[in-house]
Structure 1
Amino acid sequence: MTRETSNDLAPDLASQLAQDPVPAGNARERLLDAAEALIYAGGIHATGVDAIVRQSGAARKSFYTHFGSKDALVAAALERRDERWMNWFITGTQQCGKTARKRLLGMFDVLREWFASDDFHGCAFLNAAGEIASCDDPIRIVARKHKERLLDFVRTQCDAFAAESTIDARHTARLARQWLILLDGAIAVALVSGEADAALDAQTTARTLLDAETAKSADSPTRNSTRKSANQPATRRSPSRRTAT
């Protein structure tokens, strides 16, 4: 089967997410670096403030000065990761093809490269949300905003797909939500199974979904009626038998 996408141009997530060298005096950035690395690898509850401070090389006083609490530090680290992760994912997706269909399917090729990397530990935002019970917790809020940003980007690609195909634009919001489930599902399966090809399984399902949407739209009575009317010549009215008065 001919692949509809190419991962040759997908950027490497490790390099995209790698922080620039932090000046020795910038304790805040070093604390964020340490918190993100340790928590992504081991989880929020398993990572203590002492370990973060020790890895950062910052003084404990700096931790309290810049953040005041572990939760505030974790939320700030996730916000920073959100920006880098989205930049990486958007760039990789846009390089997968000139059509929206290729870009939508290419999202799974981008994910597969991430799944195959040594530092893949699942979605940092799903992982964090799973450890925090309260929906109003700042950490859960950051995680939720990340998924909203991802959904918004997927929606732009679904809208573009509708514009270049026959599907009804009113269905793109639902399609985008289904697409997000496939993306997050692939991430979860890859984390648990250790199989990078979970992305390709999700891609196969995604391709079927696009084909089904296209076929459903083509069979729509309203659309067919519109096309039929457009192809038929206008009917001329017969002369009236009434005489002018």
Structure 2
Amino acid sequence: MVAQPSARERLLDAAEHLAFTQGVAATPVDVILKQANVAPATLYAHFGNKEGLIVEALRRRLTRWDQDWQLEVDAATTAQEKLLAVFPALSRYRSGPATARWCAFLSVAAESPHPSQLLDEALRSDTELLIERLHELAVPVVGIGEAQGLAERLALILTGVLGMMLRAADPDKVIADGHATAKTIIEATAVSTTP
């Protein structure tokens, strides 16, 4: 017999399913509670309020994304493939249990022009992971001098891919196009740094 998810997990699942597909502001707490089949007191006991639930759902999401990305980095055989692994990781992540129309972090950031410190920290953690890992993976490909700039350009490409996924009929093609664009940028940067 399969154990039912805890009330906490059901709340996190409901937040992901509803708030990250329909928008945080457009998703009332009572809808989340109904989806999770829990009482209001349960939400407040575990998360304090709706924002606490959203922050924890973002943290859980980032952990899952980090794991999928690391699996793709570990599977890659060359330094350039490891740097480009963010794109196959995005495909892997999209095929998993997480639901969203695009990037939950970008979505919540767009809805939160003045986030609380707690929410701001959760949102920044996604950006920090992205830039830091891309920088780390770029060093063996282009050297320390060009790694930061390349990491920032690759993050920009990935963000564009995530945004285009909202509008494209074929998100997989968008990811493939982003991958190809990133590869071109990486190769051009590597050539420019070769003595």
* TMscore range, shorter length: 0.7 to 0.9
1:191 paired with 2:174, answer no
Change (3 A) 1:106 1:72: closer
Alignment RMSD (CA, Å): 2.3
| Aligned 8 A contact 1:112 1:200 in 2 | no
Name 1:53's counterpart in structure 2: 33
Change (3 A) 1:22 1:159: farther
Name 2:181's counterpart in structure 1: 205
Name 2:77's counterpart in structure 1: 98
The structure richer in helix per residue is 2
| Aligned 8 A contact 1:22 1:30 in 2 | no
State the Cα distance separating 1:181 from its structure 2 match: 0.9
1:174 paired with 2:149, answer yes
Runs of 4+ in 1 over 3 A off after TM superposition: 20-23, 112-120
Q: 3-state DSSP class of the match of 1:101?
A: helix
Aligned pairs (5 A) from 1:74-89: 74-89=54-69
| Post-superposition CA distance 1:30-57 (Å, at most 9, x none) | 2222112211121101111101111111
Within the candidate set 26, 40, 43, 2:23 is matched to 43
Whichever of the two has the greater Rg, that structure is: 1
Rounded to whole Å, the distance in 2 between the matches of 1:141 and 1:207 is 31
Change (3 A) 1:21 1:32: farther
Structure 2 unaligned residues grouped into runs of 5+: none
Q: 3-state DSSP class of the match of 1:194?
A: coil
| Post-superposition CA distance 1:94-125 (Å, at most 9, x none) | 22x21111122343233245567894511110
Aligned length: 192
Greater CA drift, 198-207 or 176-185? 198-207
Name 1:234's counterpart in structure 2: none
1:63 paired with 2:43, answer yes
Give the partner amino acid of 2:179.
Q
| Aligned 8 A contact 1:112 1:197 in 2 | no
1:107 paired with 2:82, answer no
Rounded to whole Å, the distance in 1 between the matches of 2:130 and 2:9 is 25
Rounded to whole Å, the distance in 2 between the matches of 1:141 and 1:204 is 32
| Aligned 8 A contact 2:20 2:100 in 1 | no
Structure 1 unaligned residues grouped into runs of 5+: 1-19, 163-167, 224-245
Give the partner amino acid of 2:114.
S
| Aligned 8 A contact 1:100 1:161 in 2 | yes
Rounded to whole Å, the distance in 1 between the matches of 2:19 and 2:151 is 30
Name 2:125's counterpart in structure 1: 145
TM-score, normalized by length of structure 1?
Answer: 0.70
| Aligned 8 A contact 1:115 1:190 in 2 | no
Name 1:5's counterpart in structure 2: none
Rounded to whole Å, the distance in 2 between the matches of 1:52 and 1:206 is 38
Q: 3-state DSSP class of the match of 1:80?
A: helix
| Post-superposition CA distance 1:76-105 (Å, at most 9, x none) | 11111111111112212322x211111223
